[in-house]
Structure 1
Amino acid sequence: MPNSTSKNLVAHFVNPLDAETLDVMGPQIQLLVEPGADHAPSVMRGTIPPGTVVPLHSHDDPETFIGLSGEAEGLIHSADEFRWVRIQAGDIFHVPGGAKHAFRNRNDTPYVALVVSTSRMAEFFRVVGTPLTLGERAAAISEVQVQEFFEAAARFGYWTGGQGDNAAIGLDLRQK
């Protein structure tokens, strides 16, 4: 019989107010389901604040975004072109493992989504994220944080686009 004292082995209520919250260089991630085995599912709440981008990147971990509130744009790749699509509350944006993708919020309100991915992705966010209290605003991003982010992405085998890759899809990473 499983050990009933292990929270990961029994059904339990998750209070989002108690969830670990991380700033990931602008966007915020709340870890709603504690990361488990390497490819076990993980459920997170992601928030992209107004004026914030998630630069072009890819990773082996699939991600599914279920819009809860606000609006953002997600980058899709079809044939030989990239195209931005609007994502709103109720919409589902799926990213297969290995697919290049990016996000931008050009609105006045945050975009909030449930994010279903792997525990490995949640662990990556723990490595690169800065702990926050829910609702707290993150400090300015330092060059050291940027370098540490790229080093961690490389250790996890994740690809990150450079300034030229992002400029080609309409993202200026120098903007604050």
Structure 2
Amino acid sequence: MLDTAVSEHAGHLVDPYNVETLDVLGPVVQFLTPPRDDEPCVMRGTIPPGVIVPLHSHADPETFIQMSGEIERLSQSPEGFVWVSIRPGDIFHVPGGAKHAFRNLSTGPAVMILVSTSTIGRFFREIGKPITGESRHSDPPSADAMQHFLKTAAAYGYWNATPEENASVGLSSTPR
């Protein structure tokens, strides 16, 4: 007789509609695989229309697979920063330590699969606010939420651009 209980160490189907979901200062992150040491963390990210992720960097590499919607990602080249449009089916890789940012200038949400480290997953858990039910709308981050974000990012060794650095690449300093 087969044991019907699923072990966390056995291969299994993931129900993407029944996973931990967080509001991470505007973007929504859903853990398709939980952050576990020495394992990649796979997430579905949704960036609503008009939302930005300011210029930042961290040691963790990230690979984004665009599923739907369109988003612009800021990439650094020897000539400087350049905005790149990412469409469904595109794959965008950010090596550890690379400065990058995102903005959704479209009228619809941009949905992507993100593959990164368990460290990024734990960071999102520390700064994110759990979302339950059908609602995916969130208010702009409060001053307290931003302070918590900056303090937590510093504890992880993550770099965040100043308002002036964000403005120089075409971003407001506040996510949204």
CA RMSD, Structure 1 to Structure 2 (Å): 1.6
Q: Is the 8 A contact 1:22 1:29 kept in 2?
A: yes
Partner of 1:108: 107
Identity of aligned residues (%): 49
Deviating 4+ runs (over 3 angstroms): 4-7
Provide the C-alpha distance between the structure 2 equivalents of 1:91 and 1:145, rounded to a whole number of angstroms. Answer: 32
Partner of 2:117: 118
Partner of 1:165: 165
Deviations 1:54-90 (A, max 9, x none): 0000000000000000000000111040000000100
Question: Any gaps of 5 or more consecutive residues in structure 1?
Answer: none
Provide the C-alpha distance between the structure 2 equivalents of 1:5 and 1:57, rounded to a whole number of angstroms. Answer: 41
Question: Any gaps of 5 or more consecutive residues in structure 2?
Answer: none
Provide the C-alpha distance between the structure 2 equivalents of 1:109 and 1:17, rounded to a whole number of angstroms. Answer: 20
Q: Is the 8 A contact 1:74 1:84 kept in 2?
A: yes
Q: Describe how 1:3-152 pairs up with structure 2 within 5 A.
A: 7-37=7-37, 39-133=38-132, 135-136=134-135, 137-152=137-152
Paired AA for residue 64 in structure 1: T
Provide the C-alpha distance between the structure 2 equivalents of 1:97 and 1:27, rounded to a whole number of angstroms. Answer: 21
Q: CA deviation at 1:134?
A: 5.5
Deviations 1:130-174 (A, max 9, x none): 001264212331100000000000011100111011001000125
Provide the C-alpha distance between the structure 2 equivalents of 1:163 and 1:52, rounded to a whole number of angstroms. Answer: 16
Q: Is the 8 A contact 2:68 2:88 kept in 1?
A: yes
Local SS of the residue matching 2:30: strand
TM-score (norm 2): 0.93
Q: Is the 8 A contact 2:140 2:175 kept in 1?
A: no
